[in-house]
């Protein structure tokens, strides 16, 4: 057995998303002598990034003051907002845009292109970024996080060593910052081990599916930001779509469904395909070409679900700490801001201690508190939710109450209640035909020789209890068709097509028995998104 390499840094950051990169860059801006590294599980910075994305730019300006002179590669000023209330056949444009959805002054970007751009800026400032390396676990010693361990490379299916096997390394750091984004796998271990969520409402999520399209010439409308609510979602299900028009008739679009949905037969992918075929939207796809497909969970619990953000030696920032403004569906500006604030806190105090308090009295807290009751209000359905949202907006979040959240994995109705029925597959004639052909547009890759990175604690439950109670929802919610129940002479069996996984984390969240554990595969595995 070879020796494990150990490297030492002042600050080690896990995740090269907006939060991690902002934190790294700010650290170097304050103190150029600090040794700062960023680990990223994607094979390149931005290759796992997926968002709409319309951004608010205040935090970006603070971080990169001259960004307008040298903007991220995709950066289009928002010209117009539109919200469509959909019914099966019709669509009504809302006469006015709720204030949270007013994007005047904001920009449409690609999170992937933007993080790659920000990564270059951080590297120029001396940050060491290591794409293709996943943090597999936190190193904890005497109740203090002292760094992280990267995953081994070249492990065989059976756990043995393959040709070229390389042991992971330990990175020791005075401060470790977890910026893994929504449902971070190491953050999840930490939250559990240190009981960081014991005083918080359960965290809740949504699943976001995204596609990038090249429309036929003249069909796009640069700067137009459209959202839809309503059909094909039932009133009991939270969600809607976004359609953001970039330059050159390219359009970024997608669909978000709250993972507190109740109908076990609901298929987020199929609903999105149905929506695209709606008479109001279908025309857009004539002569159009699908460029990219992907999916990512989005954190929706808001203020009341934020875990404690510090442990000795480490901090949580960005979506990994649950910071996202749900009514605005925006988290990038908050991720950037939390990265900046975390770096400033460390610069001043040289410790993670006190970070939780700093964040909870920051502008981020103010923003999140104000909208804290809007998302949970949609438990009263779409109409009730809107009425509540109106109230919360008018009163600027000053209601004396805070609505609680409930864990997404506990929301499904059982088949035996008889309320929900299976639905036939949807084929609208608009690409992608099904999830398998969609995954092809995610350019995802996992060396098939490596162990399966989706750990199912007890596959017996799948064929017995889950099959009976919920008819195996994993076969429907996964946007990449990773889970299949196959019939064999010996009976049913769960098949995991792990190579197709796009790292959205939905299964880890929604599985009703919480027996699926998403762990990091070999570094560099996963989607290879371009401009998502």
Partner 1 sequence: MKVLVAIKRVVDYNVRVQVKPDGSGVAIDGVKMSVNPFCEIAVEEAMRLKEAGKATEVVVVTIGVEKAQDQLRSALAMGADRAIHVTTDAQMQPLGVARVLQKLVDEEQPGLVLMGKQAIDDDCSQTGQMLAAILGWPQATFAGKLEIDGDKATVAREVDAGLETLNVDLPAVVTTDLRLNEPRYIKIPDIMKAKKKPLDKRPLDELGVDLGPQLTTTKVAPPAQRQPGKKVADVAELVSELKERGLV
Binding site for partner 1 (CB under 8 A): 5, 7, 43-44, 46-47, 73-74, 110, 112-113, 116, 128, 130, 132-133, 150, 153-154, 163-164, 166, 169, 171, 214, 217, 248-249, 289, 291-292, 440-441, 443-445, 528, 530-531
34 touches 11 (CB < 8 A): yes
| Interaction of residue 305 with ligand FAD, rule CB under 6 A | no
Return d(Cα 103, Cα 83) in angstroms, integer.
Answer: 12
Return d(Cα 327, Cα 371) in angstroms, integer.
Answer: 7
Q: 111-124 and 18-30 are packed helices; what angle lies between their axes, rounded to 10 degrees?
A: 20
| Closest to ligand SF4 by CB, 29 or 444 | 444
Return d(Cα 496, Cα 25) in angstroms, integer.
Answer: 39
Return d(Cα 63, Cα 61) in angstroms, integer.
Answer: 5
| Closest to partner 1 by CB, 120 or 417 | 120
In order of 29, 43, 129, 453, 526, the CA distances from 132 in angstroms are 25, 4, 10, 16, 10
Return d(Cα 333, Cα 54) in angstroms, integer.
Answer: 10
| Interaction of residue 256 with ligand FAD, rule CB under 6 A | yes
Binding mask 54-83 for ligand FAD (x = CB under 6 A): xx----------------------------
Return d(Cα 88, Cα 204) in angstroms, integer.
Answer: 28
Choose the one of ligand SF4, partner 1, ligand FAD, none that binds residue 506, judging by a C-beta under 5 to 8 angstroms depending on kind.
ligand SF4
For residue 436, what is the DSSP state? H
What is the smallest separation between the CB atom of 150 and ligand SF4, expressed in angstroms? 20
Instruction: Give 167's contacts (C-beta < 8 A, 6+ positions apart).
Output: 1, 2, 4, 5, 152
Can you name the residues that pair with 430 across neighbouring β-strands? Answer: none
Instruction: Give 166's contacts (C-beta < 8 A, 6+ positions apart).
Output: 152, 153, 154
Strand duo 205-214 + 289-299: pairing: antiparallel
| Interaction of residue 509 with ligand FAD, rule CB under 6 A | no
What is the smallest separation between the CB atom of 175 and ligand SF4, expressed in angstroms? 29
Choose the one of partner 1, ligand FAD, ligand SF4, none that binds residue 55, judging by a C-beta under 5 to 8 angstroms depending on kind.
ligand FAD
Choose the one of partner 1, ligand FAD, ligand SF4, none that binds residue 243, judging by a C-beta under 5 to 8 angstroms depending on kind.
none
Return d(Cα 506, Cα 511) in angstroms, integer.
Answer: 8
> Which position has the token pair 């999140």?
368
Choose the one of ligand SF4, partner 1, ligand FAD, none that binds residue 179, judging by a C-beta under 5 to 8 angstroms depending on kind.
ligand FAD
235-262 burial code (b ≥16 CB/10 A, e <16): eebbbbbbbbbbeebbbbbbbbbbbbbe
> Which position has the token pair 């569906």?
329
What is the smallest separation between the CB atom of 469 and partner 1, expressed in angstroms? 35
What is the smallest separation between the CB atom of 179 and ligand SF4, expressed in angstroms? 19
Choose the one of ligand FAD, ligand SF4, partner 1, none that binds residue 73, judging by a C-beta under 5 to 8 angstroms depending on kind.
partner 1
With CA atoms as reference, report the closest residue to 109 among 64, 59, 54: 54
Binding mask 317-336 for ligand FAD (x = CB under 6 A): -xxx---x----xxxxx-x-
Among 36, 86, 186, 215, binds ligand FAD (CB under 6 A): 186
Choose the one of ligand SF4, ligand FAD, partner 1, none that binds residue 507, judging by a C-beta under 5 to 8 angstroms depending on kind.
ligand SF4
Choose the one of ligand FAD, ligand SF4, partner 1, none that binds residue 153, judging by a C-beta under 5 to 8 angstroms depending on kind.
partner 1
| Interaction of residue 134 with ligand FAD, rule CB under 6 A | yes
What is the smallest separation between the CB atom of 496 and ligand SF4, expressed in angstroms? 8
Can you name the residues that pair with 128 across neighbouring β-strands? Answer: 37
| Interaction of residue 342 with ligand FAD, rule CB under 6 A | no
Structure tokens at 414: 């059982």
**Per-residue three-class SS string for 366-426:** HHHHHCCCCCHHHHHHHHHHHHHHHHHHHCCCCCCCCCCCCCHHHCCCCHHHCCCCCCCCC
| Closest to ligand SF4 by CB, 288 or 509 | 509
521 touches 446 (CB < 8 A): yes
| Interaction of residue 442 with ligand FAD, rule CB under 6 A | no
| Interaction of residue 185 with ligand FAD, rule CB under 6 A | yes
What is the smallest separation between the CB atom of 293 and partner 1, expressed in angstroms? 10
| Closest to ligand SF4 by CB, 315 or 480 | 480
Among 12, 13, 19, 257, binds ligand FAD (CB under 6 A): 19
Per CB under 6 A, residues contacting ligand SF4 are 454, 478-480, 482, 501-507, 518
What is the smallest separation between the CB atom of 160 and ligand SF4, expressed in angstroms? 24
Among 52, 168, 521, 524, binds ligand FAD (CB under 6 A): 52
What is the smallest separation between the CB atom of 444 and partner 1, expressed in angstroms? 8
Residues at the contact surface with ligand FAD, assessed by CB under 6 A? 14-20, 39-42, 48-55, 111, 134-135, 179-182, 184-186, 208, 210, 254, 256, 296, 298, 318-320, 324, 329-333, 335, 520
């Amino acid at each position: 057995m070879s020796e494990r390499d150990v490297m030492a840094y002042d600050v080690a950051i896990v995740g090269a998303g907006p939060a991690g990169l902002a934190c790294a860059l700010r650290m170097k801006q304050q103190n150029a002598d600090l040794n700062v590294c960023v680990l990223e599980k994607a094979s390149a910075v931005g290759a796992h990034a997926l968002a709409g994305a319309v951004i608010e730019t205040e935090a970006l300006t603070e971080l990169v003051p001259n960004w307008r002179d040298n903007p991220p590669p995709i950066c289009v000023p928002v010209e117009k907002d539109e919200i469509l209330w959909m019914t099966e056949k019709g669509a009504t444009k809302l006469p006015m845009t709720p204030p949270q959805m007013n994007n005047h002054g904001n920009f449409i970007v690609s999170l992937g292109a933007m993080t790659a751009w920000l990564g270059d800026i951080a590297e120029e400032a001396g940050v060491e970024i290591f794409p293709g390396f996943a943090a597999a676990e936190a190193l904890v010693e005497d109740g203090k996080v002292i760094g992280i361990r990267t995953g081994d490379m070249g492990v065989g299916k059976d756990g043995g060593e393959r040709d070229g096997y390389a042991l992971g390394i330990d990175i020791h750091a005075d401060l470790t910052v977890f910026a893994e984004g929504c449902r971070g796998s190491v953050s999840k271990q930490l939250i559990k081990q240190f009981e960081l969520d014991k005083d918080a409402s359960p965290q809740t999520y949504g699943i976001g599916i995204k596609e990038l399209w090249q429309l036929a010439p003249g069909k796009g409308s640069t700067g137009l930001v459209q959202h839809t609510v309503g059909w094909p979602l039932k009133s009991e299900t939270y969600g809607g779509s976004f359609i953001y028009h970039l330059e050159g008739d390219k359009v970024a679009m997608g669909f978000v469904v709250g993972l507190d949905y109740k109908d076990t037969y609901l298929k987020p992918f199929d609903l999105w395909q149905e929506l695209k075929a709606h008479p109001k939207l279908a025309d857009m796809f004539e002569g159009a070409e699908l460029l990219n497909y992907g999916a990512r969970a989005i954190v929706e619990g808001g203020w009341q679900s934020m875990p404690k953000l510090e442990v000795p030696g480490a901090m949580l920032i960005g979506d990994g700490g649950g910071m996202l403004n749900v009514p605005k569906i925006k988290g990038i500006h908050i991720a950037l801001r939390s990265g900046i604030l975390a770096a400033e806190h460390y610069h001043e105090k040289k410790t993670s201690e006190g970070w939780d308090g700093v964040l909870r009295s920051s502008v981020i807290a103010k923003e999140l508190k104000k909208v804290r009751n809007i998302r949970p209000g949609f438990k009263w359905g779409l109409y009730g939710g809107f009425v509540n949202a109106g109230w919360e907006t008018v009163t600027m979040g000053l209601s004396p109450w805070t609505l609680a959240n409930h864990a997404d994995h506990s929301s499904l109705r059982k088949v035996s209640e008889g309320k929900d029925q299976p639905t036939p597959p949807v084929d609208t004639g608009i690409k992608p035909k099904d999830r398998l052909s969609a995954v092809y547009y995610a350019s995802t890759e996992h060396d098939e020789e490596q162990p399966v990175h989706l750990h199912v604690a007890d596959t017996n439950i799948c064929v017995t209890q889950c099959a009976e109670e919920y008819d195996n929802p994993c076969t429907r919610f996964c946007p990449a068709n990773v889970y299949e129940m196959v019939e064999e002479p010996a009976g049913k069996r769960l098949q995991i097509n792990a190579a197709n996984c796009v790292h959205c984390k939905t299964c880890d969240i929604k599985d009703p028995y919480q027996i699926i554990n998403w762990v990091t595969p070999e570094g560099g595995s996963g989607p290879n998104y371009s401009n998502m």
